[in-house]
Amino acid sequence: MNDLVSHLQSLDPPAATVVLLAVASLVLVLREPITGRRSFARFRVEEAAEGEPARLRHYRSWTLQGCTSAILAVALVLALPGVGLADIGARWPSWPSGDSVASSAVRGMIAGVLLMIVVVALAMLVRRWRSRRAAASAPTAAAASVESEAPSAGPRGQMAAVLPMLPRTAAGRRGWAMLSLSAGVTEEITYRGLLLLTLAVVLPSDAPTALLVTVAAVSFGLAHWYQGWTGIVSTGIFGALMAGLFLVTGSLLLPMVLHTLVDLRALMLPVPAEPATTRIGTAADGEATAGTTSSVTPAPRPDPS
Give the CA distances from residue 147 to residues 151, 181, 275, 277, 296, in Å, rounded to whole numbers and listed in that order.
5, 37, 14, 17, 21
133 confidence band (pLDDT: 50, 70, 90): confident
pLDDT in the model for residue 66: 96
Average pLDDT of the chain, as a whole number? 81
> Given this model, what pLDDT does residue 189 score?
98
- Percent of the chain residues past pLDDT 90, beyond the cut: 60
pLDDT reported for residue 149: 42
- Quote the pLDDT of residue 212: 95
Residue of higher predicted confidence among 304 and 130? 130
- Which residues, in sequence order, are CB contacts of 238 under 8 Å at separation 6+? 220, 262
Dump pLDDT digits (tens) for 74-85.
Answer: 999 999 999 999
pLDDT above 60 for 147: no
pLDDT the model gives residue 97? 63
Please say if the pLDDT value at position 42 is more than 60: yes
CA distance 71 to 182: 12
Q: What is the pLDDT of residues 60-71, one digit of tens each?
A: 999 999 999 999
Domain ranges of the chain: 4-129+162-268
Residue 40 above 60 pLDDT? yes
DSSP the chain: -HHHHHHHHH----HHHHHHHHHHHHHHHHHHHHHHHHHHHHHHHHHHHHSHHHHHHHHHHHHHHHHHHHHHHHHHHHHSTT--GGGGT-S---PPPTTSHHHHHHHHHHHHHHHHHHHHHHHHHHHHHHHHHHHHHS-HHHHHHHHHHS------HHHHHHHHHS--SHHHHHHHHHHHHHHHHHHIIIIIIIHHHHHHHHS-TT--HHHHHHHHHHHHHHTTGGGHHHHHHHHHHHHHHHHHHHHHHS-SHHHHHHHHHHHHGGGGS--PPPPTTS-----SSTTSPTT----------PPP-
Provide the pLDDT confidence category of residue 267 given band limits of 50, 70 and 90: confident
Banded pLDDT at 98 (limits 50, 70, 90) = low
Computed on alpha carbons and rounded to an integer, the radius of gyration of the chain in Å comes to: 22
**pLDDT score at 288:** 40
How does pLDDT run across 190-201, given as a tens digit for each residue? 999 999 999 999
In angstroms, how far apart are the furthest CA atoms of the chain?
Answer: 72
Q: What percent of the chain has pLDDT over 70?
A: 70
Distance in angstroms (rounded) separating the CA atoms of residues 155 and 169: 21
- Contact (CB, 8 A) for 18 and 26: no
Residue 244 has pLDDT above 70, yes or no: yes
